[in-house]
Amino acid sequence: MKKMLLLVPALALILVVGRVALEIPAVQDALLARGAAGMALQGDRTQAANDSLRVYVCGSASPLGMDQAQACIAVVTPDHFYLIDSGAGSTQNINRLRLPTGRLQGLLLTHFHSDHIAEIYEVNLGSWVNARPAPLTVYGPWGVQEVVKAINEGYRMDRLYRIAHHGEALLAPELGVLAAQPILVGEVLRDGDLKITAYMAEHPPIHPAVGYRIDYRGRSVVVSGDSNVSANTVEIADGADLLLHDALSLPMVTALASSLEANGRSRQSKIVTDVIDYHASTASLIELSAQSDVGMVAYYHLAPVPPNSIAESVFMRDAPDNFVLTSDLMWFELPIGSDQIIVNQP
C-alpha cells in the first residue's frame, strides 16, 4: 500500500515532465523528424506479399453512407493492380491501405453514377505522381469516353499547374491524361495470369451497367457494382471464391423512409424509397448463395451504412456463416493453391 502511495506521485511527476518536454521546440523537432522518417519508409504493403489474390475495400458505402467512402474495390496480385470504381473518399483509403498506385494498370467503372466516379481524377493524379509508367486506362460500358473526355478537359488546368511546378521530368505530361476504353460484356482483358470478365448488371433505368469477375491462378472474385440479383449474377458468381455485392437492408431502408416521411421530409423519403428497386436486398443475396456455388459473400455499397452494432445485426439478419459485412479498409487474401479466404479487419 505504501509503495502504491509513492508510485502515484512518481507517475504524476513523469507525466508533468513529459508534458513540459513536449513544449520544447528541440524535442518537437526530434519527434517530427522521427515521424517523417516513418512516413517516408511507408511503402507498398503488397510488395512483400505471397503470391495471392488480394481484394481491398477502399469504399464500402452507397450514397446512404456515414463516415465511409463510396464504392471502390482494389484487386492486387504481385503483378497486377486494378481498381473497380472510385467513389468519394476512396483515394484517401487507397493511401491509408498503402496500395501500390505507381503500378496501377487500370480503373474499371461499373457505371457512371457519381458515387462510383467522383474520384477518377484523384486516382489518376495519385498514380501519376507515383510514377505510373503508362497513361491510366479507364474501362467502362458505353459512355466511358464522354466521362473521361470531360475529366481530361475539366482538369487540364490542374495538370498544367502541376507540370509547371514540378517539371516534365517528374510529371510526364502524356501520363497525366486518362485513356478511355469502352467495353462489352465478356472478356475485357487478359494480363498474364489475370483475366477480367464483364457481365451485365441490372440497375434500371441505368443501362448499360456492368459488374466484373476477376480470375487469377485458380482464385476468383466478382464485384457487382450496383445491381439487383439476376440470372447473370447467379451465372457469374457460380464457382467464384468471393462475391462482393451491392447490398441493401430492406428493414433499415424501409424504417428510414418511414421516419423521414413522418418528420415532414417527404422528398428525402421518396429518394430513399426509390433506391429499393435497383439494389440487391440482403434477402436476395442469401437466396443467391443457395442457388450458386460461391465461397463467400461480402456485402458492400451498403444501403444504408449501419451506424452501430445493432444496425449491423439487422443488416446481417439471416445471413449464413460465409457472409461478411464490409467496412472501409477491410481486405481479403486468397492464397494461390488453396480454398482459403483470409478476412482482414481494418
Residues that bind Zn ion (CB under 5 A): 113, 115, 226
- E-strand spans in the chain? 52-59, 72-77, 80-84, 106-108, 137-140, 179-182, 186-191, 194-200, 210-216, 219-223, 242-248, 296-303, 323-325, 331-335, 342-344
Closer to Zn ion by Cβ: residue 202 or 226:
226
- E-strand spans in 39-191? 52-59, 72-77, 80-84, 106-108, 137-140, 179-182, 186-191
Of the candidates 289, 225, 256, the residue with the CA atom closest to the CA atom of residue 62: 225
Q: Which three cell numbers stand for residue 326?
A: 464490409
The minimum distance between CB 327 and Zn ion, in angstroms, equals 17
Closer to Zn ion by Cβ: residue 115 or 333:
115
CB atoms within 10 A of CB 46: 20
In the chain, the amino acid numbered 306 is P
CB atoms within 10 A of CB 125: 20
The minimum distance between CB 104 and Zn ion, in angstroms, equals 22
Closer to Zn ion by Cβ: residue 80 or 113:
113
Closer to Zn ion by Cβ: residue 232 or 322:
232
The minimum distance between CB 111 and Zn ion, in angstroms, equals 6
Closer to Zn ion by Cβ: residue 201 or 334:
201
d(CA 241, CA 250) in angstroms, rounded, equals: 26
Of the candidates 127, 118, 116, the residue with the CA atom closest to the CA atom of residue 178: 127
The minimum distance between CB 279 and Zn ion, in angstroms, equals 8
Closer to Zn ion by Cβ: residue 101 or 227:
227
The minimum distance between CB 42 and Zn ion, in angstroms, equals 31
The minimum distance between CB 206 and Zn ion, in angstroms, equals 6
Helix extents (H) in 155-210: 156-166
